[in-house]
Structure 1
């Protein structure tokens, strides 16, 4: 395996956004294994979150990540389907200050136990601005009435919502984010498989516990019954929110189901996974096109953000969504789909994020192989299961 060829610094200069030179403008909000994410107080950058790289062995630089995004990801998808990403120059003094703040967060017990001891790479010259897909990011200039988020246990679903109100008019936003995972079957699965790769892995990890998650194959099945089943698994069973909202949980279920039935996003993802992985995980090391395989693995771990907006305002900025006067139950302007439920019209869109290149080093590939071996040897693709309906 090989990593993506890094972009020349001269090529990067033309794409870099304004520099981040003030650590006090950054608010720690989340941390993963490889990156830390900050909210930016500067209103000019309110559409974005700042993602900074940790100091870890073999971790690709921000320029490498951005190069893969522009050269290998964007050409695969239609416009508006992928969350935007921009490079930004970061002053070394900012990174040093943020590392000191991480030490404070660690002493105060704010940082996750398994993330302690890691810090930002002060030799890195760039950070990445990633589009803020949260419900609170829409029309942040309007007064926020209330917001919240609900994580769905047992699945990768997370629903966030926000309500803004100004001069008697409301803006309601709900965002469902989840990982679509493997939308096509693993090429290493046996011919008599009963479960898709995602459900087989879930069964293996659950060890016969009655834990159900959505099936990726439902999303591309074309069957309303199957889509409805997975939408219910992705969304909370109930929401403890203020009464009077137009975006009730039942309407959200209906809207998401209708959107998935008509969108091409998940079918496009499935096609990319199918075309980019010709040999399967067990034989990927012998592939003549290793970058294609790594792209397939990247797409299999991306996050989909389905955003629903109900607006009583006459205008919403073009970068977000505009209200429509159409009475159609299902229409589209290219970036948003308009769905009518109970006489209300909702603007719905979906963007994909978390599309960083997967590391194709020996350890990662060995991990992928070990999963396939476990699923095959344990019969998790083929065995009967009284708790989970077969995917096939």
Structure 2
């Protein structure tokens, strides 16, 4: 853990502890990381409450990689492009905070120590934080005592504009089946599982219940059948509305698809659509009164810039799904329980 001091004036700032400090110090505790960012939580050093400015907040810092924009640029893009699309209560808030260079140096030293103790996954070894003047304070969506957290990766909530008209699978289910068969070498039918994202926002509440139950039961651990049912019902009846908004914006920013377009014709709108197809939905609430405490927010809305290499990868994936028949072929479903909503409706 790394000792820090938080101050709000003249602007929100975090800096390393100094001997002359009279402020109440905090510690930063490493909790998670991905390919682009590392996330820390705030802990008090003494038996005192965490400063109000960082209470129920996490700190996200970017890694030192060439493809990652500065934190300030990420923040500006988020505020301009994504925050206006959703209700404030349905999005993980971001606040720009100033950092000092010595804090980044200290945290990087701790990252090296985590590698020697096994606290970091091997695949993350060598990754370090960028020397950046800013970090992001984020809404803390980790589950506290008496709460449960569910994570949903909605993916494509509408069919790909490039899909053939006679498709029997949505884009997500087609890609899942293609990848399953690749892993199996095409020799055996893959293991059943997963859910169709179209079910999450279907007009039929029973379809929504089916989709949410698949997700919640997979993460429920020792929750009772009654509790699982209450959570599923809440999400199917009310909680899915944010996903309906997400689907609307996915369709709004990608009306024409990607195939047949030159890379230089790819607009920021398509990049926004792909960002909205790769975000995460966090669902948190008290297990004793889930419907009254549910906190449902979208996260991971980091703008996916249409770099030529990335556009080529997107096009290659879509071309494979179309040309190899993953949207339309019934033969690959032999002995395979249909799970895509489009497939079920075609039977």
Short-chain TM bin = 0.7 to 0.9
Match of 2:243 among 255, 262, 266: 266
The reply on whether 1:250 has 2:212 as its aligned counterpart is: no
* CA distance 1:237–1:103, shift in 2 (3 Å): closer
- CA deviation digits over 1:90-132, x for unaligned, max 9? 110011111111111122232212211221112x110111111
Note if 1:38 corresponds to 2:40.
yes
**Is contact 1:279-1:287 (8 Å) kept?**
no
Q: Deviation digits for residues 195-245 of structure 1, max 9, x if unmatched?
A: 11111111111114123111110011122221222122112358555xxxx
Q: Secondary structure, in 3 states, of the residue corresponding to 1:25? A: strand
Query: SS where residue 137 of structure 2 aligns?
Result: strand
Query: Contact (CA 8 Å) 2:151, 2:283: kept in 1 or not?
Result: yes
Aligned to 1:294: 271
Alignment partner of 1:387 is 2:337: yes
| 1:242-262 deviation per Cα after TM superposition (whole angstroms, max 9, x unaligned) | xxxxx7343233333333333
Could you tell me the TM-score, scaled by structure 1's length? 0.73
| Residue in structure 1 matched with residue 30 of structure 2 by the alignment | 28
Given that 1:195 and 1:391 are in contact with CA atoms closer than 8 Å, whether structure 2 keeps it comes out as yes
Give the counterpart of 2:215 among 231, 234, 239: 234
Q: Secondary structure of the residue that 1:308 maps to in structure 2? A: strand
1:84 aligns to 2:61 (yes or no): no
Structure with bigger helix share is 2
Q: Contact (CA 8 Å) 2:28, 2:42: kept in 1 or not?
A: yes
Cα distance in 1 for partners of 2:260, 2:14 equals: 44
Q: Which residue of 2 is the match for residue 212 of structure 1?
A: 193
Give 1:295 deviation, angstroms: 1.0
* Residue deviations 1:259-309 (CA, integer Å, cap 9, x gap): 333342111111101111122132565686712111111111111112233
Within a 5 Å distance, the mapping from 1:1-392 to structure 2 comes to: 18-22=12-16, 25-42=27-44, 43-44=50-51, 45-122=54-131, 124-136=132-144, 162-163=145-146, 173-207=147-181, 208-236=189-217, 241=222, 248-262=224-238, 263-283=240-260, 285=262, 290-309=267-286, 339=291, 346-384=292-330, 385=333, 386-392=336-342
Q: 1:238 to 1:355 in 2, by over 3 A?
A: closer
Structure number with the higher strand fraction is 1
Please say if residues 217 and 228 of structure 2, whose CA atoms lie closer than 8 Å, have aligned partners that are also in contact.
no
3-state SS in 2 of match to 1:192: coil
CA distance in 2, matches of 1:362, 1:289: 9
- Residues 309-364 of structure 1, C-alpha deviation per residue, up to 9 Å, x if partnerless? 3568xxxxxxxxxxxxxxxxxxxxxxxxx84xxxxxx3323111111111311111
The change in CA–CA distance for 1:378 and 1:237 in structure 2 (over 3 A counts) is: same
Match of 2:4 in 1: none
Q: Does the residue aligned with 2:320 lie in a helix, a strand or coil?
A: helix
CA contact (8 A) 1:298 1:357 kept: yes
Instruction: Name the CA distance, whole Å, in 2 between partners of 1:135 and 1:104.
Output: 27
Distance 1:119 1:16, change over 3 A: farther
Q: Residues 21-66 of structure 1, C-alpha deviation per residue, up to 9 Å, x if partnerless?
A: 1377111111110111111125121311111111111311101110
Equivalent pair of 1:235/1:253 in contact (CA under 8 Å): no
For 1:41, what is the secondary structure of its paired residue? strand
Gaps of 5+ in 1: 1-13, 137-161, 164-172, 242-246, 313-337, 340-345
SS of residue in 1 equivalent to 2:12 = strand
SS in 2 for 1:236: helix
Partner secondary structure for residue 90 of structure 2: coil
CA RMSD of aligned residues (A): 2.5
TM-score normalised to structure 2 length: 0.81
